[in-house]
Amino acid sequence: MCELPCRARCTPLRIRIRFVQMPLGPWARQLYLKSRGTFIRRRADVVELEREATGGTWGLLPWFAKTPEIKFDTVNARSETVATSASYKAPWARGQRCIVPMDAFFEPNWETGKHIRWKFSRRDGAPIAVAGLWERWRGKGDQENISHTLLTVNADDHPMMSRMHRLDKEKRMLALLDPAEYDEWLERPPAGAFELLQEYPPELLLDEPWPKPPAERSLALEEMADVLMPDN
């Protein structure tokens, strides 16, 4: 989504209040590419819709990858091509949709000619819920990886997001979900799920410049070692 993908992690307590029960524990402040984060999916072992929280790498590892290390970016998936892209079409067809909770996300603003980081959050203070996909990768032996990606939509005409990124780049924004859409996103068949991938109303978002403090990334990654994650 941006030159340095980053999002402010949604705390376990806020996830429990808004989404689903999960363990409480130490929590890293921010997530970056290939960090391990929480997402919410539909439980596969029950008939009725029931949510569960699990953990996975941010950056979807497709089934055809030979190793867990891939050279292309799968942090975000374009909604327009998610059903046909080699990396995403299999989990999309299987209905492996998920909700990725976060307190905020960050985008680069280049209007001054310099990269200024901007923070986006919900104006009402509620957690953000992003439409996502998840995948389970199995390699040789007992190698296994659970990962997820965030879906994006075009935002060329969005009052806020059209100001982000470099001037010569297409404007994109995360596909955000309202609470009334959570279960629909997890339960709908693939064809019907496309209807939920829309620009988010700007009046519901708060945006503000948010420069990154020195060494913030290294601190966040160090904290990740102590994060308590739910089981896969």
- The DSSP secondary structure of 2-57, one letter per residue, reads -SS-EEEEPPHHHHHHHT---------SEEETT-EEEEEEE-SS-SS--EEEEEEE
Q: What is the pLDDT along the chain (232 residues), one digit of tens a residue?
A: 444 567 777 776 778 778 876 655 555 567 777 888 889 999 988 888 899 999 899 999 999 998 888 888 899 999 999 999 999 999 999 999 999 999 999 999 999 999 899 999 999 999 999 999 999 998 888 889 999 999 999 999 999 999 999 988 899 999 999 999 999 999 999 999 999 999 999 999 999 998 876 554 443 433 333 333 344 4
CB 43 within 8 A of CB 50: yes
Q: What is the pLDDT of residue 219?
A: 37
**148 touches 56 (CB < 8 A):** yes
Q: What is the rounded end-to-end Cα distance, in angstroms, of the chain? A: 26
Tell me how crowded residue 35 is: count the other CB atoms within 10 A of its CB: 19
Tens of pLDDT, residues 122-152:
999 999 999 999 999 988 888 899 999 999 9
Distance CA 58, CA 38 (A): 9
- Give me the long-range contacts of 86-91 (CB less than 8 A, separation at least 24): 86/62, 87/60, 87/62, 88/60, 88/62, 88/133, 88/149, 90/62, 90/63, 90/135, 91/60, 91/133, 91/134, 91/135
Cβ–Cβ under 8 Å, residues 136 and 171: no
In Å, what is the CA distance from 188 to each residue of 151, 154, 191? 16, 22, 8
Burial class (CB in 10 A: 0-12, 13-18, 19+), 172: buried
Q: How far apart are alpha carbons 41 and 186 in whole angstroms?
A: 7
Q: What is the pTM of this model?
A: 0.84
State the DSSP string of 82-142: TTT-TTTHHHHHTT-EEEEEEEEEEEEE-TTSS-EEEEEEETTSPPEEEEEEEEEEE-STT
pLDDT of the residue at 230? 41
d(CA 156, CA 98): 25
Contact, 70 vs 97, CB < 8 A? no
